[in-house]
Structure 1
Amino acid sequence: MSDKPTTIKEIAKILKISVSTVSRALNDHSSIGLTTKMRVKKLAMELNYEPNQKAIQFLQGKSHIIGVILPELSESFFSTAISGIEDVAYKRNYTVLLAQSHDDADREKLLVEKMKTQRVDGLLVSVSKTTSTYEHFEVFKKLNIPVVFFDRIPPIKDIHYVASNLENGTYEAVNFLLKKGHRTIGMINGPTTLVASHERKEGYIKAMISNRLKFDPSLIVSCDLSEDGTIDVMNTMLNHRRKPTAIVTFNDYVALFAMRYTRSLELEGIDFVSYANLPIINYMDYTPIASVEQFPYKQGKKAADILIDLINRPKNETGTEQAYFNVVVESELIVPTPK
């Protein structure tokens, strides 16, 4: 026996029938009689015939692969989102091609090009924190290959996206701190290139104004989300003329960096509220007093469903007048039960 995979041509030659007849028989075409179908399938099984997926994909014009580009798989938020994406892909017979930008805009651009080369049917993206231009996604639009953004979405029009309602989440977080008696509340925000940073700021302002408190813009500082960057902005906060008694941080990692730094200075009395509600915070001695849950699994699952629906929509629906899916997942402020 040859190590080479059996082909339709070989089956046709043995049975002395046409290649097209074998193909139709294997696909249960109504034009082929039952006896011929049984003969073809029996021989195919005996010869361990496997369909040529590349040939099938070529005929269908699809690879049944979706690309996913995210900042860091090591972050619990994104690994949880990937679980949602993969669950949907598995159920709908798609394979996931995963890549990490490591929060580098140039790397992200290169990965987008590589995804195109790999002939993915569609692309899911959470943009890097350093991405400030978005022309690299235009090539997919020109090729009618759908792109769905999730969590970190770009500030551009006419895109499909799934994201958490961070404005409301921030409003709840600041309100929570105000009810605890805090009046000087700082915010360590993310890079200004991220839509999420703008939404957090808007929620903060909304909460202050609704409580008839003056908004002090100097109490909101932007951070690159690294540990060194967090320490820099924490020094700014601690040296502020109105030293905050509570701080809202961009995510749980930033909160942990900030809390570790304040403890190294032997400072106490500052409450922290963060975002993402990572499982790890339940196993730490010093944690944020509350965290905004953004439901990454739900975001990933919904984004994947939308992408695959877009891939499989009828060809006559791919015109420029298409509707764009803009899905907002409601966030929830989680207050841990005291240990």
Structure 2
Amino acid sequence: MSLLKVDHLAVEFQTPDAAVRAVNGVSFELEEGSTLGIVGESGSGKSQSVLAMLGLLARNGRASGTALYQGENLLTMPPKALNRIRGNRLSMIFQDPMTSLNPYLTIERQMTEVLELHKNMTRRAAKKRAIGMLEAVRIPEAAHRIDQYPHELSGGMRQRVMIAMALLCEPQVLFADEPTTALDVTVQAQILQLLRNLQHDFGTAIVLITHDLGVVAGLCEKVMVMYGGRVMEHCSAADLFARPSHPYTIGLLRALPRLDEEGAALRGIPGNPPNMAHPPAGCPFQERCVDANAQCAERMPALDPLNGDATWLRACHRPVEQMKSLHEEPSHV
């Protein structure tokens, strides 16, 4: 049985003017010790999908569908029951450490509280464990830094504190929202290795939300590409990088800077993401897609197996062999 099984997850926000559907029909399964990368531009619904599962949506947000963790639906779980596993068996590394850390509490209090609540540790034992985890994420002088407040640390150090907090209870599922965005490449490599070690030692499953396809290539086994609140492509990382089959995935990969094209202009996807308050009738990517036709504007393509392969899902009306985006020279920005 899957550790986490998400089926037709939808997230909607009620605004004074309209109901905004931020996530529409997301489904995936997560096995113990596996890693799923969720990629896409800002506003594609990546973070809201995870926040819905953890019961952390804004007050005007509503989630539907199912998110089964060990057979229990997280979306309908009572708050007290969810609190017992959130931060303990399910943990999250948030994207913005400055707004996620409490400015009125020391790093020690924010870290030891988790261990006292979920592991019944004494304050002294919890502090010792917290210092050890700060050292594990390469924070120098951890015994001194733990007594400081968030504003006394650099952005990179605050990000590492967030990572340390998420790992304290050795969670079964770790949701990581851009966990290395504020770190230099050396520390980024160390953090990614720490996550790999956590998987190896404790069988932790990881859901990685990121814009960095390089991080996905180095850490993830499967990848789910999202756009406009929907899944565009879902397959193994090896297949995605070797043979991308959706026009949006191809655009994302072509937007990556290349070492063998030094000095070349960056390549981008023309146009802008859709306004989810007034989404298009058909495929949300249609207005930016070189492969779009009349059918794309009329209805959303189903997320179907590619050439009968149930492990490779793709939402596109155009057969792969007829795609112009595979051969067209990308636009430059």
- Highest Rg: 1 or 2? 1
TM-score by length of 1: 0.31
TM-score by length of 2: 0.31
More helix by proportion, 1 or 2?
1
